[in-house]
Amino acid sequence: MSTDLILPPQQLVLDLPPIARAGAAANAAAAARAFAQYRERLADHTRRRHDFDLATFAPYLVAIGLSAPVGLNSDPQAWAGMTWGLVAGFVAWQSSEGYAIGSINVRLSTVKVYTRLAAKAGALPDSDYAQIRLVAGFRHAEGRRVDAKRETTRKAGGKKATPVSISQAHADLLKRQADPLDRLLMCLLLDHGLRVGEVASLVAADFDLSSGQLRFYRSKVDKTQTHQLFPDTLAAALAALSGNTHVTTLFGVERTIQRRVGVLGALVGLPTLSPHDCRHAWATFATRAGTPTKALQDAGGWSSPAMPLRYAESAEIANDGVKLK
């Protein structure tokens, strides 16, 4: 039997040629900094989105009986033992919990990024990572079918086959909340058409109160946008955020926002109200006020000009607004 097989690891390293020893040391150093170096290159909003995605992955692991992991965004060893079955289970768990299909796909992508880094750092076998890469999310048509099947069990806030119709009077009531954060939440949904995931990722620093602007990330189309705050939204932001320097998210996770909107909706006679209903209402109000489709597409963060028309509610009088001369 070769004596090399029983030498201590340090002796094995010392017996390597100098360039091989240097290479081994460089690999070890690179592995230790793999996560930090990757995250240093990310935009601030992307880092926050990754942290938010991983914060959802942790409770999934706890839900299936595992200990809460520490360092998913910083330590390759936190991913040691991860398998494709656990990642596929994360996709299924989110679907059963009622998360939006787009959010499920984004979080799956984030998990794949960090398992790739963990594999590169040597914490995860290449064979396990290769199988994780094959875990699929939902294509658009598949997502519609999944939503249709879970329509009766999906929890408050999920997309419905028919959105709740919100009148202008209802919208005005929803924006008159006593709590400043509730008021800001409803203004962001009804006056700016933000998706629930976009609201969930917001921190106080995203609001520039001096210029009256909001800068935020739309993960669904992978772009950062700036919105000029409408008067109601700016007033709510000033009331809620003046002196607020916290870097934590303002409104909690998506499910918390969905539940809160449901509660506020019930108080004005809309018991099944969801954040997505508010996005439909925003598109409807803007279209009826004469907003050009291109402007609405840009403001809503849609990749297709057909989407604003799908979101806008049809008028009760079908030819209302049609001009012949």
What are 226-261's pLDDT values in tens digits? 999 999 999 999 999 987 666 567 888 788 899 999
Are the C-beta atoms of residues 164 and 271 closer than 8 Å to each other? no
Query: Who's near 131: CB < 8 A, 6+ residues apart?
Result: 83, 84
pLDDT tens digits, residue range 157-181? 345 557 889 999 999 999 999 999 9
Please give the mean pLDDT across all residues of the chain.
82
* Tokens, residue 109: 């992508």
* 99/192 Cα distance (integer angstroms): 21
- 70: CB partners within 8 A, 6+ apart: 78
pLDDT confidence of residue 222: 73
Model pLDDT, residue 144: 64
* pLDDT, tens only, 283-322: 999 998 889 889 999 999 888 888 887 877 665 554 455 4
Among 16-25, 76-85, 182-191, 227-236, the minimum mean pLDDT is found in 16-25
Domains of the chain, start order? 12-145 (1.10.150), 168-311 (1.10.443.10)
Taking the model in full, what pTM does it have? 0.60
Q: Write down the pLDDT at residue 2.
A: 41
The distance from CA 185 to its chain's CA centroid, rounded to whole angstroms, is: 16
And the tokens for 294? 């291109």
Q: What would the pLDDT profile of 145-156 be if each residue is shown by its tens digit?
A: 666 555 444 443
Q: What mean pLDDT do residues 75-86 have?
A: 92
